[in-house]
Amino acid sequence: MTSRDLSDSPPDPRPLRTERATAADLPLLLALKDACVAQMRAQGIDQWDDVYPSVALFQADVAAGTVHVARADGALHGAFTLDAKLDPLWAGMDWQPATGPVAAVHRLMVHPGQQGRGLGRRLMAHAESLAKQNGCCAIRLDAFAANPAALALYSKLGYRRTGGAQMRKGPFVCFEKLL
């Protein structure tokens, strides 16, 4: 896949590039996850921990070519996984009937030092573009019910709430957007 320029993020003049993660990115992905976990904990959000997302999960995602990263100056500023793995706990949600393949976004991360600059929005736009290129008719995802920033982001981007799922850490809200 060709990298996509995200250089029009307003406050940061450095060009950001999105590309598939490689095995060499794994330490940077784990450091990004740790920074996000620390930030969420500081905000009282007990969403991620040492169990999820695990090193093995990131390794599998990288090996499958489903992790996409945004980087500048060698640093990872954000990442997400885009695949077709719909969580079994999403069964019974108010999904629209699928007229084709459906994509799922997992583990959207924006480095705490980059938050508030529109990167989450730009990463989701990139995920939507990739899903469309792959013939998908919709994107589905979930967000921790106690993470107001994530809930607001998906709502602002036109994702429709389809129900809730009880997971290990508590309630999650499921979202869908038709492409």
Per-residue pLDDT of the chain (179 residues; tens, 9 = 90+): 233 334 343 444 557 899 999 999 999 999 999 999 999 999 999 999 989 999 999 999 999 999 999 998 878 999 999 999 999 999 999 999 989 999 999 999 999 999 999 999 999 999 999 999 999 999 999 999 999 999 999 999 999 999 999 999 999 999 999 99
Looking at residue 50, its pLDDT comes to 87
Burial of residue 75 (CB within 10 Å: 0-12, 13-18, 19+) is middle
Which fold is adopted by the domain 4-178?
Answer: Aminopeptidase (3.40.630)
Looking at residue 72, its pLDDT comes to 85
Paired tokens of 106 = 């997992």
CA-based nearest residue to 45, from 93, 139, 125, 115: 115
The domain limits of the chain are: 4-178
Looking at residue 64, its pLDDT comes to 98
Rounded to an integer, what distance in angstroms lies between the CA atom of residue 161 and that of residue 72? Answer: 33
Residue 117, classed as helix, strand or coil, is: coil
Looking at residue 14, its pLDDT comes to 56
